[in-house]
Structure 1
Amino acid sequence: MKRLALPTARYADGACVALLLAIAVADVLLGPEVTLLALFSAAPAVAASRTTARGVVGTGLFAAATAVPLALHDHQPGSPAGLLPLLALGLVTVFSAVTARSRTRHQRQLARVRDVVSAAQQTVIAPLPEASGPARIAASYESADDAAQIGGDFYEVVPIRDGVRLVVGDVQGKGLSAVHTAATVLAAFRESAPVSSRLETVGLKMSCALARRGTEDRFVTAVLAELSDDGTLTLLNYGHTAPLVLPAPGGAAEAAPDHPGMPLGLDTLGESRPGRHNRTLTPGDRMLFHTDGLDEARDTAGRFYPLATRTALLRDGTLTTSLEQLRTDVHRHTAPAAPADDSALLLLEYTGTSHSRADRPTHQIPGPAHLGCEKCVVIDCPIPPRLRPHNNPAAPPSRRHRT
């Protein structure tokens, strides 16, 4: 297992060594009438907060090696004025070494916990590809809790045949329960988005996943999007903040749904359907998908972040650079405090070129739609036709599912 790296010297911290030498020089300059031996005990105590137990012992030994000659210089080696400071130095060194050992053990445990959190983050919020289907993509996640790396906000992108699908969402509430809910919804999206023929089916399966989990007091706002190679964009909005469209010629507009949609988890309480928005993108158009942690970031006067007036930050440079500029501007707006809520950002640029087709072989066998899959991006599907769960009734009899 990888050992925890601590900012220490091998035997003594440099600052403690400098402190001991300064005390020794001051003691010599003040003469035998003034003794500073008692101050040497401070060195191992200070080292306990900065180095390992071994470093504390080294600091104590260095202090003793410096203090004994000073006691001889002051003619106090056998007097109480000379022995008591040396005894105190030994006791402080022992207790400080025990304290340093306990601190480093807790730091190693914390490092292991952070490794687990990092692994969980990679599971819930996996790194996105720079290009998928007809789009370039960049994403950014920021937790409001300095001690955490993940929260209830999430995003994901999956390629499909002739396009790409994505989701950006926000779980109601905070804490580990919100992370669990986000993982449940993302698992349903990752499973259904590549194979479902209709985007509404993907949303339905995400809602069903929440219902199976049985959390009645937890709901999720989300935006589902499908971008085809020809620029056709379909958005389904489940009570989420509308994405921002940035046309290449200039300007900005919200991709507002035709009607308010109910969040996932609440849509089963009555007859409801998600809000819908359709449009066509042209090459160079960008879109910002985000959670409410962005536009609800407040300054010291309680004013919300003016996203509508900051769209120029999303046009300059690469997608990653644009998101970095936006994050910096948000932090400047909320300074000196940090943003009070998690936020997930996903910036997409329509290129008009299908990246998912770049590596396809020139000779293709019949596509998955003819072999039982609905929307799968995999052209040379490795699953034998007889084992496909989504058997196509229109397929030749020899390729249908055999019961």
Structure 2
Amino acid sequence: MNQARHRGAVHGPTHLFRHVVAGPVLPVLIVLVVILVDLAGGAGMIWLPLLAAGPALAASTNEPRGVLCIGLFAALLGGLLGIRDGVPAHELMAVLSALAAVTLASGLASALRGRRERVLAAVRSVAEAAQHALLKPVPEIVGPFQTAVRYSAAAAEARIGGDLYALVDTPYGVRLIVGDVRGKGLPAVSTAALVLGVFREAAYDEPDLLTVVDRIERSLARNLGADDFVTAVVAGHPRAGQLEVVNCGHAPPLLVRSASAAVTAVESSRPAPPLGLRALTDETPSLQVLPFADGDQLLLYTDGVTEARDHGRAFYPLAEGLARHVSDAPARTLDALHDELLAHVGGRLHDDAALLLIRKPAAVGPGIPQPAPSELLLDDQAI
């Protein structure tokens, strides 16, 4: 959808401007402007040193060969213009020597830039491989549910990070988790991968959802530092018409009833600490059982959504936004929420934000294939 939305802009004025700036057109234009100004003013030496701006600018966008070509082009025109204006030979040689020095330095800068870009491309390819290993596309149908996911990274180049979620279709029904790891960077990615790995195995092995949460807790207790933790909501669909929810210090999911389209927060009846901190308190997670009829929807999210602020420092009202945009198509609902969220913050988030929406359709057609289980680990894509 996003690709289709932007396809029409590819050949528009913005694309043309980027092509002009990124190619040799702009440096050549600068050289020609200097020449034309000199011809119009007849000032000779006053303008000729500005020819060095051409190869200097080309270093930021062109390969070394292109920089040298623009430098030679500027030197040729500068030499002809200097001879035409009667510039003394020693002065003209000084200008051309300076132009040659700038061209060579710019060519070296271009070569170094190209090397850095190749290294960055290699790093990005590794990140892409890690993303494909840890992230899998969410099918539109998982078990009896319609599903959709949207994620926005705070960093423009982010691929994976500490926001996590997963959906698995198990012998005990569909189970899902949404969580947020304390911290950022590679340690957060490592912890998120650990949580997803344990959840995936336990979701298949354990008939009781609380036991799934216990296994994640024990694993984190062995592997996390004293100050590390993971907030998470784990949910399951053990039988028709029911949802089980376990909240471990996470933001409450939002439930949308089909009958009234009312949005209500699923507050935990007995708050539990985040995963990894149970040893510091006597509280243990509790299992909430919710009626979940045909047409009902459940939205899980991370705090990057609800803590997103506009220029007036006002938080994004997620429940109100969901009430405005809820529809029978989870993907369309999340597209609208995601666009409104970005508009609220002015186009860029300061924290990773994840949204996961499931809906129980009234009926599933007999020809719809059942997809394979999918797991997702996020960091800051965009969507």
Deviation at 1:173, TM superposition (A): 2.1
2:364 is aligned with 1:348: no
Q: CA deviation at 1:212?
A: 2.6
Higher helix share: 2
**How do residues 3-402 of structure 1 correspond to structure 2 at under 5 angstroms?**
13-31=24-42, 36-76=47-87, 79-161=89-171, 163-228=173-238, 230-249=240-259, 250-316=261-327, 318-335=329-346, 338-351=348-361, 353=363, 359=369
Return the alpha-carbon distance in structure 1 between the equivalents of residues 19 and 113 of structure 2.
13
In structure 1, C-alpha distance between the alignment counterparts of 2:255 and 2:209, rounded to whole Å: 20
Mapped to 2, the partners of 1:33 and 1:152 lie a distance apart of 61
Cα deviation for residue 282 of structure 1 reads 1.9
% identity of equivalent residues:
37
Q: Distance in 2 between matches of 1:121 and 1:262?
A: 29
1:16 aligned partner, one-letter code? P
**Residue identity in the other structure for 2:303:** D
Q: Distance in 1 between matches of 2:366 and 2:132?
A: 23
Cα offsets for 1:231-267 (capped at 9, x unmatched): 3111111111110011123111112222101211112
Give the conservation status (yes or no) of the 8 Å contact 2:210–2:287. no
Secondary structure at 2:357 match in 1? strand
SS state of the match for residue 194, structure 2? helix
Q: 1:354 to 1:169 in 2, by over 3 A?
A: farther
Aligned twin of 1:391: none
Counterparts of 1:328 and 1:312, CA distance in 2:
15
TM-score, normalising length: structure 2 = 0.84
The equivalent of 2:5 in structure 1 is none
In 2: Cα distance, 1:328 partner to 1:288 partner: 16
Deviation at 1:123? Answer: 3.5
How far apart are 1:162 and its partner, in Å? 6.3
Correspondence for 2:9: none
2:376 — aligned with what? none
Larger Rg computed on CA atoms: 1
Amino acid at match of 2:310: D
Secondary structure of the residue aligned to 1:170 is strand
Distance 1:229 1:98 in 2: 67
Partner of 1:384 in structure 2? none
* Equivalent position SS for 2:222: helix
Unaligned runs of 5+ in 1: 1-6, 361-375, 378-403
Query: 157-166 vs 263-272, which deviates more?
Result: 263-272
Is the Cα contact below 8 Å between 2:30 and 2:53 reproduced in 1? no
Q: State the match for 1:386 in structure 2.
A: none
CA deviation map 1:133-183 (0-9, x unaligned): 010111112222334233211100011236311000111222221111111
Q: 1:354 to 1:132 in 2, by over 3 A?
A: farther
Letter of the structure 1 residue corresponding to residue 190 of structure 2: H
Q: In structure 2, how many angstroms separate the alpha carbons of the residues matched to 1:81 and 1:245? A: 79
Q: Measured at CA, do residues 275 and 26 of structure 1 come closer, stay the same or move farther in structure 2, by a change above 3 Å?
A: same
Q: Secondary structure at the match of 1:16?
A: helix
Amino acid of the structure 1 residue aligned with 2:175: R
Question: Deviation at 1:317?
Answer: 6.4
The gaps in structure 2 that reach 5 residues or longer are 1-17, 374-383
1:34-78 Cα shifts (integer Å, max 9, x gaps): 6532121111111111212121111112212222221232234x6
| Cα distance in 1, alignment partners of residues 337 and 28 from structure 2 | 45
1:262 alignment partner AA: P
Partners of 1:35 and 1:305 in 2: how far apart?
Answer: 57
Residue matched to 1:370 = none
Query: Using the alignment, how far apart are the partners of 1:162 and 1:172 within structure 2?
Result: 30
In 2, Cα distance between equivalents of 1:167 and 1:279: 16
More contact order relative to length (CA 8 Å, sep ≥ 6): 2
* CA offsets 1:193-244 (integer angstroms, 9 cap, x no match): 1232111121111112212314222111111111246231111111111100
Moved segments of 4+, more than 4 Å: 32-35, 352-360
- Within 2, Cα distance between the matches of 1:171 and 1:12? 43
Letter paired with 2:85 = D
**Bigger CA drift: 190-199 or 145-154?**
145-154
SS at match of 1:189: helix
Q: Distance in 2 between matches of 1:183 and 1:240?
A: 18
Asked if the contact 1:233/1:281 (under 8 Å) is kept, the reply is: yes
Contact 1:245 1:288 in 2 (8 A): yes
For residues 86 and 317 of structure 1, the distance between their equivalents in structure 2, rounded to whole angstroms, comes to 70
Q: What SS does the aligned partner of 2:151 have?
A: strand
